[in-house]
Structure 1
Amino acid sequence: MKKALLQACALCVGASAVHAGGIDRSGQGINVIFEEGSVVQFRLGYTSPSVTGTMLGVDSGEVANNFFTPHLAYKRAINEKLDFALIYDEPFAADVSYGAGYPLSQNPIPGGRTDVLRAKADTDAITALLRYKFDGGFSAIGGLRIQRLSANVAVPAAAGYEVDADADTALGYVVGVAWEKPEIAARVALTYNSKISHDLSQTESLNPPPPAPGGFVASFDTNSEVVSPQSVNLDFQTGVAPKTLLFGSVRWVDWPQTVYDPPNYPPANPLVDYDDPTWTYSLGLGYQFNEQFSGAVTLGYEASTDEPVSNLGPTDGFWSIGLGGTYSLEKAKISAGVRYTDLGDAIADGAGPGARATFEGNSAWSVGFQITYALN
């Protein structure tokens, strides 16, 4: 069995994944640390979601915007026992906007400023990892992650409210353990990603209610703490027949840690919060057709919480199917994949009791491309 080909095939399908849980984008994978020798790796995914809903009989329009998920990594084998990796990704993000007629896009203040319900949040992370190999196939993994977060949110129904948060950079860490048996292409890796706390400097603004003139905008410079959540990844693979690899993963994300509650946001509830963590599962099968080409199919699933969700993330669970392939050259492995995701139906918080939004029949298509180039 050609271990490298089948590993790359598993990576290919994962490269085009879309994670519905919260605002999860990259899955915070570290598989490059297991590549043989020294390599550089580039991956780019593109997702086109179709998410629509209705509130009080008004259509939301296409809510979720298309997005890219970049990944760049460098891995070096320092010696037979020690490996180093440097990884760039965008682990969490949001980009949603609603139609102008949607109830939450309407400013209730007469003559107040106009906008639409929208949210954009971005994170960039660089992770530096070390892996030390013990006897018996065991290894320990540890490192630091530096992360940059920025956000802008508008909720016109809350007195024309908008918050614009400057970018903040903060530090977290990654620890893990792994076990490998190369003879059967077996590997199990368990990694923990710490939460990262950001202290956001932000400008909040809104239209005060009458008797202030409707066009008057009050502005406040404030601070809020926002936490990107801790998570645990379990990744596994093993050969199950000649030229055949079974692989999969389990990911837990502690979303209740993520609360965004700017001090001047008019409603009593936070602008962003989550009731439940998410569990995301994937299972795939890869096959090596010849010395150059491998293919794989993978299934994904995330259980719904059956709780009301935010309009800024109006899906609840998903299932997915993906196809991918890898072509190997002398020093490069070139992978590509496509994935279809059926996004779970959701009930979103509304403008009051009986005014919740319903999101049904939504989906997403994703494609991904990856190249891994050997440096030695």
Structure 2
Amino acid sequence: MKKALLQACVLCAGATAAHAGGLDRSGQGINLIFEEGSVVQFRLGYTDPDVSGTMLGVDSGDVAKDFFSPHLGFKTSLNEKLDFALIYDEPYGADIAYASNYPLSAGTLTNDVLRAKADTDAVTALLRYKFGNGFSALGGLRVQRVKASVSVPVAADYVVNTDSATDFGYVIGVAWEKPEIAARVALTYNSKISHDLSQTESSLLVGTVNSSSEIETPQSVNLDFQTGVAPRTLLFGSIRWVDWPQTVYDPPNYPPTSALVDYDDPTWTYSLGLGYQFSEQFSGAVTLGYESSTNEPVSNLGPTDGFWSIGLGGTYSMERAKISGGVRYTDLGDATADGAGPGARANFSGNSAWSVGIQVTYALN
């Protein structure tokens, strides 16, 4: 029961994640390390957000672009006490562009628009040591690559393009399991990762110059839990805290006095779900998600504030393979975005996202 149910739950809660914490895309999950034996896993989520607002009576257009969220993983048992997993994901990202007539797209010489694109790739090597009596400790190394491009035409036609930067962080955690009732609690800490970005900045004020900036992807804590509550029935959920105030991007030649990207508050994201095994081959799950709003002005490069969501997932189990699919609807929180002044703020409301995902886990032994 536990294996089939868990696959449905993981997909519904994770593979279709959308817009958690603005830039948060994968949730940095490590459930693969708890698979039995040796397995390979592939997961692909697709999200189609619908985000729009107005400033000074001008429509922003649908600013958030659709995106894919890939995940690849390999897990094996090195011996009775020690497990190893290698996980690839894209933990953070942004792809946003405004209409050409939007006030903040009003440049002097260029035909560019207010836009931002940021990509990250991460590979995590993870070890888990089992102490006995259900307790285990886990830890590992994460290598992460980041690259970004931002245009703010209203700020003297400002554009910045960074080179790729690759740096290291770490993961540590503890877990407790009781297989007889399909129970597990796992607490995981993900360190911040500091990147020194080489970049090219251009604007009407400085021309084109080469410079460098530091940016940190934030530290975070994940608490994941599950337990059987009735025959063939699993209750599961998670709490994720992300320390977004650590993430500040302040290129030296950006004209305004404020940073290009910064955050005032961390985010708390919650999920709770129920899974049921309908037969030996098929299991299903429903998941509710919630992220609290900060009720503070947000960046135009991420104009949402909190969300609630509902997801449905299912898993079909065969002799060696488990195939999961899921769909999720997310109601994105209303937000007020900073503008050129207090009277020129933008209002974003009535926004949402649809996500779908598929996951295949194949046992090698």
Same fold (TM over 0.5): yes
Letter in 1 for 2:340: A
The C-alpha deviation readout for 1:288-325, integer Å capped at 9, x for no partner, is 00000000000000000000000000000000000010
Letter in 1 for 2:139: G
C-alpha distance in structure 2 between counterparts of 1:252 and 1:180, whole Å? 22
Q: Is contact 1:65-1:95 (8 Å) kept?
A: yes
Partner of 1:173: 170
Partner of 2:57: 57
Deviation at 1:229, TM superposition (A): 0.2
The alignment status of 1:140 with 2:137, answered yes or no, reads yes
Letter in 1 for 2:9: A
The C-alpha deviation readout for 1:49-102, integer Å capped at 9, x for no partner, is 000000000000010000000000000111111000000000000000000000
C-alpha distance in structure 2 between counterparts of 1:35 and 1:180, whole Å? 12
The alignment status of 1:164 with 2:161, answered yes or no, reads yes
Deviation at 1:20, TM superposition (A): 2.7
SS state of the match for residue 152, structure 1? strand
Deviation at 1:19, TM superposition (A): 3.5
C-alpha distance in structure 2 between counterparts of 1:80 and 1:184, whole Å? 21
Partner of 1:214: none
Partner of 1:272: 261
C-alpha distance in structure 1 between counterparts of 2:313 and 2:101, whole Å? 41
The alignment status of 1:205 with 2:194, answered yes or no, reads no
Q: Is contact 1:202-1:222 (8 Å) kept?
A: yes
C-alpha distance in structure 1 between counterparts of 2:212 and 2:32, whole Å? 37
SS state of the match for residue 12, structure 1? helix
Alignment match of 2:333 (pick from 340, 344, 352): 344
What is the RMSD computed on CA atoms of the aligned residues?
Answer: 0.7
The alignment status of 1:240 with 2:237, answered yes or no, reads no
Letter in 2 for 1:7: L
SS state of the match for residue 344, structure 2? coil
C-alpha distance in structure 2 between counterparts of 1:232 and 1:40, whole Å? 25
Partner of 1:10: 9
Deviation at 1:131, TM superposition (A): 0.2
Partner of 2:252: 263
Deviation at 1:368, TM superposition (A): 0.4
Q: Is contact 1:19-1:27 (8 Å) kept?
A: no
Q: TM-score, normalised by structure 2?
A: 0.99
- Alignment size in residue pairs: 364
The C-alpha deviation readout for 1:212-261, integer Å capped at 9, x for no partner, is xxxxx701100000000000000000000000000000000000000000
Letter in 2 for 1:65: K
C-alpha distance in structure 1 between counterparts of 2:211 and 2:62, whole Å? 32
The 5 Å alignment of 1:282-361 reads 282-361=271-350
Deviation at 1:22, TM superposition (A): 2.7
Q: Is contact 1:9-1:295 (8 Å) kept?
A: yes
SS state of the match for residue 188, structure 2? strand
Partner of 1:105: 105
Q: Is contact 1:22-1:255 (8 Å) kept?
A: no
Partner of 1:211: none
Partner of 2:356: 367
The C-alpha deviation readout for 1:93-146, integer Å capped at 9, x for no partner, is 000000000000001x4xx22210000000000000000001110000000000
SS state of the match for residue 354, structure 1? helix
Deviation at 1:12, TM superposition (A): 1.9
Structure 2: give runs of 5+ residues left out of the alignment.
Answer: none
SS state of the match for residue 313, structure 1? coil
Deviation at 1:178, TM superposition (A): 0.1
C-alpha distance in structure 2 between counterparts of 1:254 and 1:16, whole Å? 22
Q: Is contact 1:24-1:93 (8 Å) kept?
A: yes
Alignment match of 2:242 (pick from 253, 275, 289): 253
Letter in 2 for 1:254: D
C-alpha distance in structure 1 between counterparts of 2:30 and 2:18, whole Å? 17
Deviation at 1:207, TM superposition (A): 1.3
C-alpha distance in structure 2 between counterparts of 1:290 and 1:114, whole Å? 58
- Runs of 4+ in structure 1 off by over 4 angstroms are none
C-alpha distance in structure 1 between counterparts of 2:338 and 2:39, whole Å? 47
C-alpha distance in structure 1 between counterparts of 2:121 and 2:253, whole Å? 27
Q: Is contact 1:295-1:324 (8 Å) kept?
A: yes
The 5 Å alignment of 1:21-60 reads 21-60=21-60
The C-alpha deviation readout for 1:179-234, integer Å capped at 9, x for no partner, is 000000000000000000000000000113xxxxxxxx701100000000000000
The alignment status of 1:121 with 2:94, answered yes or no, reads no
Letter in 2 for 1:11: V
Q: TM-score, normalised by structure 1?
A: 0.96
